[in-house]
């Protein structure tokens, strides 16, 4: 027997409102009062109304029929004033811009410092009819922002914002350092030293430290090297550490610079292998991890627009976490060691 489905217009007539009001209420639009939303949802449940999945999919694929207020995505920055001069965050931002354009959205930056408070910025975004917010990585780790989240669909990039717990797109730091260690071991490096800036360690929630310590428990004690961690990684101290530890490779975040180590007498790659956990700001030829910052920015737009299409607002009950894995580039700062075949990689 053919089943007759309740339509949104029939539901609207029963509720005594327009079909547009029903549509917004079922999508939890903040422009409909909570009382009306609950009444319409209850009526939909009682009458057996269900949205047609093909129609929902079609609507999500037609950005030109959305309300004009939803065509702008806000990119909120609460970071370095000169962040646009920094290659890495600009590459993330470029990923956001390009993907947003592909999906029919515009992107506009809102610097928190220019508005004085999260409340003021929230009011400006709301008055502009902007419903989608992307939070760029913050300057410091363990950051808090108190926008009026119930008004927006939102996603944060990176690990620096911890409150509130929003949907998050970030770099797969744990996976990336494991990949780097595996590649270095396969090249025959045994005594691989990890040098980290204090601020970076905190910004990635100590992911690099945790994975490196776990790795060290799986190798011979004679190959273990203490982590070098300090503010700004003074090159003279790093050089002293490398020699004291008899390291045959250094894994760092492109600090100290290659030229700085060479100025302190290291012959790279003949005497010391050099790999970075972040190839992007490094010049061509540096071996290490490409974190794919543009892909991370693009993925943040995908996550945000999916929640916009479903009209999901506020702090999520169960936030989603998406991690984008990096790729490996061997470059010219690494070379295969003579005894590479004797180095076990089974541990990785």
Q: Which residues pair with 171 in a beta bridge?
A: 324
Look at residues 177, 164, 252, 170 and name the one whose alpha carbon lies nearest to residue 207: 177
CA distance 195 to 177: 12
Cβ count within 10 A of residue 129: 13
Kindly state the helix (H) or strand (E) to which residue 103 belongs, with its residue range.
none
pLDDT band for position 345 (50/70/90)? Answer: low
Least confident of 52-61, 155-164, 165-174, 264-273: 52-61
Q: What is the mean pLDDT of residues 241-248?
A: 97
Predicted TM-score of the model (pTM): 0.80
Q: Check: CB of residue 148 under 8 Å from CB of residue 193.
A: no
| DSSP-assigned states of every residue in 255-286 | -S-HHHHHHTT--TTTT-EEEES--TTSPTT-
In sequence order, the 6+-apart residues with CB closer than 8 A to the CB of 47 are 6, 11, 14
4-8, 72-76, 80-84, 203-207 — which one is most confidently predicted on average? 72-76
Whether the per-residue pLDDT at 30 is higher than 80: the answer is no
Kindly state the helix (H) or strand (E) to which residue 184 belongs, with its residue range.
helix 173-186
The model's pLDDT over 284-332, given as tens digits with 9 standing for 90+, comes to 899 999 999 999 999 999 999 999 999 899 999 999 999 999 999 989 9
Kindly state the helix (H) or strand (E) to which residue 13 belongs, with its residue range.
helix 8-15
CA distance 112 to 317: 25
Residue 195 phi/psi, 5° resolution? -115, 120
User: Which two structure tokens, joined as six digits, stand for 309?
Assistant: 């299409």
Q: Check: CB of residue 104 under 8 Å from CB of residue 71.
A: yes
Q: Which residue reads 């009026």 in tokens?
A: 148
Residue 45 CB-half CA count within 13 A: 6
Residue 296 phi/psi, 5° resolution? -65, -45
Whether the per-residue pLDDT at 37 is higher than 70: the answer is yes
Mean pLDDT of the chain, nearest integer: 90
157 or 338, greater pLDDT: 157
Least confident of 30-34, 101-105, 158-162, 263-267: 30-34
Buried b (16+ CB within 10 A) or exposed e, 239-273: bebbeeeebbbbbbbbbbbbebbeeeebebbeebb
Q: What is the mean pLDDT of residues 18-37?
A: 85
User: Which two structure tokens, joined as six digits, stand for 22?
Assistant: 């029903």
Look at residues 183, 184, 207, 209 and name the one whose alpha carbon lies nearest to residue 195: 209
Strand stretches in the chain, DSSP E: 72-77, 106-111, 132-135, 143-144, 153-157, 161-163, 167-171, 192-197, 228-230, 249-252, 273-276, 287-290, 321-324, 327-329
Q: What is the largest CA-CA distance in the chain?
A: 84
CA distance 129 to 236: 53
Q: What is the pLDDT of residue 59?
A: 56
Ordered domains of the chain (ranges, CATH): 8-51 (1.10.260.40), 68-172+294-326 (3.40.50.2300), 173-290+328-342 (3.40.50.2300)
């Amino acid at each position: 027997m053919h089943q007759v489905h309740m339509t949104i217009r029939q539901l609207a007539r029963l509720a005594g409102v327009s079909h547009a009001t029903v549509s917004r209420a079922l999508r939890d639009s903040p422009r409909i009062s909570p009382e009306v939303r609950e009444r319409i949802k209850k009526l939909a449940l009682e009458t057996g109304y269900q949205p047609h999945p093909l129609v929902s999919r079609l609507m999500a694929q037609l950005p030109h029929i959305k309300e004009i207020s939803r065509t702008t995505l806000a990119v909120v920055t609460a970071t370095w004033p000169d962040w646009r001069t920094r290659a890495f965050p600009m590459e993330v931002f470029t990923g956001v811009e390009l993907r947003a354009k592909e999906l029919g959205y515009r992107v506009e930056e809102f610097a928190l410092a220019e508005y004085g408070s999260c409340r003021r910025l929230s009011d400006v975004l709301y008055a502009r009819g902007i419903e989608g917010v992307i939070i760029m990585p913050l300057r410091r780790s363990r950051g808090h922002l108190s926008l009026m989240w119930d008004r927006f669909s939102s996603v944060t990039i990176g690990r620096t914002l911890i409150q509130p717990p929003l949907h998050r797109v970030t770099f797969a730091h744990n996976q990336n350092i494991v990949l780097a260690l595996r590649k270095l071991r396969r090249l025959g490096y045994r005594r691989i030293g990890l040098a980290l800036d204090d601020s970076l360690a905190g910004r990635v929630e100590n992911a690099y430290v945790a994975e490196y310590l776990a790795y060290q428990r799986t190798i011979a004690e004679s190959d273990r090297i203490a982590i070098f961690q300090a503010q700004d990684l003074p090159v003279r101290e790093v050089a002293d550490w490398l020699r004291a530890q008899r390291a045959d490779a250094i894994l760092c975040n492109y600090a100290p610079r290659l030229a700085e180590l060479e100025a302190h007498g290291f012959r790279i790659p003949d005497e010391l292998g050099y790999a970075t956990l972040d190839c992007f700001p490094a010049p061509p030829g540096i071996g290490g991890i490409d974190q794919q910052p543009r892909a991370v920015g693009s993925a943040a737009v995908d996550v945000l627009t999916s929640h916009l299409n479903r009209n999901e607002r506020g702090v999520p009950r169960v936030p989603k976490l998406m991690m984008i894995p990096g790729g490996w580039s061997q470059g010219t700062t690494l070379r295969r060691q003579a005894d590479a075949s004797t180095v076990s990689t089974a541990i990785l």
